[in-house]
């Protein structure tokens, strides 16, 4: 077979594949990491000082800013994506599809159960995004507590680990609590009337 015949065969196969392919659809849903992760990076501007203040009260003066900054950078870079990926894998097994739910309460339950990868229903369900985001804050909180504790304890002696653990729980409780309040207020203002 000559080079020209090979190119011709490749061209014919490519054309058959292009014209025989199904049209693409933009209905894959919303991988919530695409909304939540950039927001998490932006929120570090507020979260690091808040958690540094908690560190000052719980751990004392000296390293609070560095501990808060490093711990939050690691939990944002590692903890949030790992928690999200774990939730996507669980969602693929437990609740993989759009089951044609039609009522607002059923769609709210779907936004909670399928919060990692929000499935599409129709164009007028913008309220499902804050519902899914508020749901995701719960596992992200636990992932952040674990990551920040593991990072922050590197700055302290072993006898201070209980205080470091307390800081991780309290600081993230405050940070995620404020985020939850914002998301729940956003959800309440966007819920369908009636």
At 119-129, the pLDDT tens digits run 776 655 678 88
Q: Are 129 and 116 in contact (CB under 8 A)?
A: no
| Residues of the domain holding 169 | 31-190
Return the pLDDT at 188. Answer: 87
The model carries a pTM of 0.80
Q: Are 122 and 100 in contact (CB under 8 A)?
A: no
Residue 126: strand pairing partners: none
> Quick check: is 65 in a domain?
yes
Return the pLDDT at 45. Answer: 96
Return the pLDDT at 126. Answer: 77
Per-residue pLDDT of 132-181, as tens digits, reads 899 999 999 999 999 999 999 999 999 999 999 999 999 999 999 999 99
Per-residue pLDDT of 8-62, as tens digits, reads 677 665 655 556 555 545 556 788 899 999 999 999 999 999 999 999 999 988 8
H or E stretch covering 117: strand 117-118
Q: State how many domains the chain has.
A: 1
Question: Which residue intervals of 31-127 are DSSP H helices?
Answer: 33-59, 64-74, 80-94, 104-113
> Quick check: is 16 in a domain?
no
Per-residue pLDDT of 55-76, as tens digits, reads 999 998 889 999 999 999 999 9
Return the pLDDT at 116. Answer: 87
> Quick check: is 25 in a domain?
no
Give residue 193's pLDDT band: very low, low, confident or very high (50, 70, 90): low
H or E stretch covering 181: helix 161-190
Return the pLDDT at 103. Answer: 72
> Quick check: is 159 in a domain?
yes
Give the span between the Cα atoms of 152 and 63, in whole angstroms: 10
Return the pLDDT at 172. Answer: 97
Per-residue pLDDT of 71-113, as tens digits, reads 999 999 999 999 999 999 988 887 766 655 667 677 777 777 7
> Quick check: is 9 in a domain?
no
């Amino acid at each position: 077979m000559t080079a020209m015949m090979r190119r011709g065969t490749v061209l014919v196969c490519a054309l058959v594949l292009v014209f025989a392919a199904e049209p693409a659809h933009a209905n894959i849903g919303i991988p919530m990491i695409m909304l939540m992760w950039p927001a998490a990076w932006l929120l570090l501007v507020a979260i690091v000082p808040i958690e540094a203040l908690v560190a000052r009260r719980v751990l004392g003066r000296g390293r609070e800013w560095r501990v808060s900054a490093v711990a939050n950078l690691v939990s944002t870079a590692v903890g949030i994506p790992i928690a999200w990926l774990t939730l996507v894998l669980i969602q693929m097994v437990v609740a993989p599809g759009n089951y044609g739910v039609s009522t607002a309460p059923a769609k709210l339950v779907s936004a909670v159960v399928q919060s990692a990868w929000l499935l599409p229903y129709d164009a007028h369900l913008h309220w499902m995004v804050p519902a899914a985001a508020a749901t995701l804050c719960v596992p992200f909180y636990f992932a952040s507590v674990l990551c920040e504790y593991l990072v922050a304890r590197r700055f302290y002696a072993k006898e201070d680990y209980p205080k470091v653990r307390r800081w991780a729980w309290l600081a993230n409780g405050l940070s995620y609590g404020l985020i939850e309040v914002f998301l729940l207020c956003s959800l309440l203002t966007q819920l369908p009337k009636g």
